[in-house]
């Protein structure tokens, strides 16, 4: 069997890559190891308005709920709300959204194989020439000019081609989430809760999905030796930070604690891991591109990845098709993908800036987070000028250093 382009993974990055490759008139196969696209859900489903503009997609009523603001809750109970346009967006029903993207890709001409994990790559003279999959109990070789690895945080495909897509524990946010019904919430506002006792190294989110329903989830991060050093350092330190780690205090533990005071009842449970150390060093090699979570294309501050991954996947699919037409799938040509997403579109720059903010945020203790939120409390966030913030830091001098770095 032979295709022009093979996309490994059928979630957002996979479907968007294959959609844009197919739109450019090449033969595309997407392989998904699960038997159903979009399951299990590993995401809270939040996207901003700009996502649909970038992707030229229309949000369908069946799979979203509208968000018009956000509330941040400080460790000391203080809170601040904003209805700024930046906070406007949607909470997606990921199962339906993912499947709809796959359907759009299939309608554009993509062939899809389900329940088909990739076991190996076909390599010739150091160039990726296709994949070896297990399909209906048999190993099968499928050749391709370009392989796109969109196989998520647990990606093995890019590693098989020699790219370094390994993550260390402190590169990941471990997440757990209940979709719950019967909550006392404002269905137009997303909420975030911060604090070492609530969500160490991360936050709790409440993402409304209509009426009394919401995704209530948590992401936590283990920071080596209990300090805030080495965050986002992707070097293997030899010490994995396991010393004194209490596995009973996992994401699910903190989530149970949080929801115990909410009331409501769960109708779905999800777990996941989000890479929050910025993009991997290199996202292309001879005959292969890597996109999405597998490439670390996630905003390190918020952990949001749908819009970043989809933007990069659109570029990957387009460049893969161009490589096929020009009969050049060398690393030299495919580098164009990275040049566009990293430099031309400035996605790389934005992710790095976000990583810088996250590292600053990591250094704040509960008191400092509470103070920061107190400074802007009672005001609409967009009305807070830089000057006001600087004046207010007189009252909270410890914030000065943080703000100086941001402003």
Residue 370 contacts other proteins per CB under 8 A: no
Tokens of 135: 């399909």
Residue 260 contacts other proteins per CB under 8 A: no
Residue 104 contacts other proteins per CB under 8 A: no
Q: Shortest approach of other proteins to residue 237 CB, angstroms?
A: 11
Nearer residue to other proteins within complex by CB, 286 or 293: 293
Q: Shortest approach of other proteins to residue 207 CB, angstroms?
A: 17
Q: Shortest approach of other proteins to residue 244 CB, angstroms?
A: 11
Nearer residue to other proteins within complex by CB, 40 or 210: 40
Residue 115 contacts other proteins per CB under 8 A: yes
Angle at 43 between CA 114 and CA 360, to 5 degrees: 135
Residue 162 contacts other proteins per CB under 8 A: no
Nearer residue to other proteins within complex by CB, 252 or 307: 252
Residue 168 contacts other proteins per CB under 8 A: yes
Residue 81 contacts other proteins per CB under 8 A: no
C-alpha distance from residue 359 to each of 208, 235, 351, 369, 406 (Å): 28, 16, 12, 14, 12
Residue 33 contacts other proteins per CB under 8 A: yes
Residue 155 contacts other proteins per CB under 8 A: yes
Question: Scanning residues 218 to 237, which ones bind other proteins (CB under 8 A)?
Answer: 222, 236
Residue 50 contacts other proteins per CB under 8 A: no
Residue 399 contacts other proteins per CB under 8 A: no
Nearer residue to other proteins within complex by CB, 241 or 264: 241
Rounded Cα–Cα distance for residues 133 and 139 (Å): 6
Span interacting with other proteins, options 49-57, 172-180, 317-325, 397-405, rule CB under 8 A: 172-180
Q: Shortest approach of other proteins to residue 18 CB, angstroms?
A: 21
Binding site for other proteins (CB under 8 A): 33-35, 40, 42, 115, 117, 152-156, 159, 166-169, 172, 174-176, 222, 236, 240-242, 245, 247-248, 250-253, 269-273, 275
């Amino acid at each position: 069997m032979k295709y022009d382009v093979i996309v490994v993974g059928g979630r957002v990055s996979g479907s968007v890559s294959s959609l844009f490759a197919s739109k450019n008139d090449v033969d595309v196969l997407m392989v998904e190891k699960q038997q159903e696209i979009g399951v299990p859900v590993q995401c809270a489903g939040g996207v901003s308005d700009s996502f649909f503009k970038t992707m030229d997609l229309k949000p369908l009523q069946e799979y979203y709920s509208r968000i018009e603001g956000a509330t941040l809750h400080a460790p000391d109970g203080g809170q601040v709300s904003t209805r700024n346009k930046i906070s406007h967006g949607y909470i997606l029903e990921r199962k339906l959204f993912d499947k709809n993207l796959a359907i759009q890709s299939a309608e554009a001409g993509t062939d899809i194989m389900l329940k088909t994990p990739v076991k190996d790559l076909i390599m010739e003279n150091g160039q990726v020439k296709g994949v070896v999959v297990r399909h209906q109990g048999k190993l099968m070789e499928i050749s391709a000019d370009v392989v796109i690895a969109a196989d998520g945080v647990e990606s093995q495909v890019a590693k098989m081609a020699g790219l370094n897509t390994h993550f260390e524990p402190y590169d990941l946010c471990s997440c757990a989430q209940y979709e719950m019904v019967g909550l006392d919430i404002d269905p137009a506002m997303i909420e975030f809760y911060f604090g070492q006792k609530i969500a160490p190294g991360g936050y709790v989110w409440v993402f409304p999905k209509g009426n009394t329903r919401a995704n209530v989830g948590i992401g936590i991060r283990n920071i080596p030796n209990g300090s805030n050093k080495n965050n986002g350092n992707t070097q293997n330190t030899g010490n994995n930070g396991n010393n004194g780690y209490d596995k009973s205090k996992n994401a699910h533990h903190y989530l149970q604690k949080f929801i115990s005071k909410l009331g409501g009842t769960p109708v779905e449970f999800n777990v996941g891991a989000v890479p929050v150390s910025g993009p991997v060093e290199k996202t292309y090699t001879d005959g292969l591109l890597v996109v999405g979570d597998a490439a670390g294309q996630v905003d390190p501050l918020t952990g949001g990845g749908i819009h970043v991954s989809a933007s990069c996947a659109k570029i990957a699919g387009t460049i893969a098709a161009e490589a096929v037409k020009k009969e050049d799938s060398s690393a030299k040509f495919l580098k164009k993908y990275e040049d566009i997403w990293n430099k031309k579109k400035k996605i790389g720059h934005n992710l790095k800036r976000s990583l810088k903010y996250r590292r600053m945020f990591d250094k704040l203790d509960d008191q400092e987070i509470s103070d920061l939120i107190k400074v802007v409390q009672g005001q609409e966030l967009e009305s807070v000028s830089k000057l006001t913030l600087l004046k207010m830091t007189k009252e909270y001098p410890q914030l000065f250093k943080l703000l100086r770095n941001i402003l």
